[in-house]
Structure 1
Amino acid sequence: MNPYQALANAIVELAVKDYKKALKQHYRFPDNENFAAEVNALERFFRSGWYGTLTDLDGEYLMTGVRRMVHKEVAA
């Protein structure tokens, strides 16, 4: 893997971790505007052209998977 692809993968991986954390906080504190804003900002990233430049993985598919994972963790 070339260094640029490794960097792109690291950016996406960090965004997924941040999204998971933001969703958990938003589920636990739904009235907190800061958590909602963080979720919205990350969702914009996953729908952005820059995200599409970094990876071929569908952003909507990724967000759906993370939401399901978080929902299971929070509901447990």
Structure 2
Amino acid sequence: MLKRNVGDPYENLANAIVMQAVYDYRACLRRLHRHPKNKDAQIEKEELLSFFHSDWYTTLTSIPADYLIDKLDQEFADKISKERKKHHGS
């Protein structure tokens, strides 16, 4: 769970760092979906996965990295599935 304490600027910063990585990972998944051979996106994804599995990440949040990554991957897969159904009328 993201550590929440409105009054603690360090925890707010920690939350913002993790959330930025989440936003970046989602954007990376979108880019790779559109252009699977995009080397820059592939490298960025690897860097983000490395961050999620780093000691720094575990210092910033108590959310298990694999849990978060699985949720983000599933969220993206669900979104793609919905879009395909919408476009194909299924």
TM-score by length of 2: 0.80
Identity of aligned residues (%): 37
1:10 Cα offset (Å): 0.7
**Given the alignment, which residue of 68, 72, 78 partners 1:72?**
78
Asked if the contact 1:9/1:54 (under 8 Å) is kept, the reply is yes
Over 4 Å off, 4+ runs: none
Whose Rg is larger?
Answer: 2
1:31 Cα offset (Å): 0.9
Higher helix share: 1
Cα deviation, 1:44-66, whole Å, max 9, x if unaligned, reads 00000000010111011001100
Gaps of 5+ in 2: 84-90
Instruction: Report the equivalent of 1:4.
Output: 10
1:73 Cα offset (Å): 1.9
TM-score by length of 1: 0.93
Gaps of 5+ in 1: none
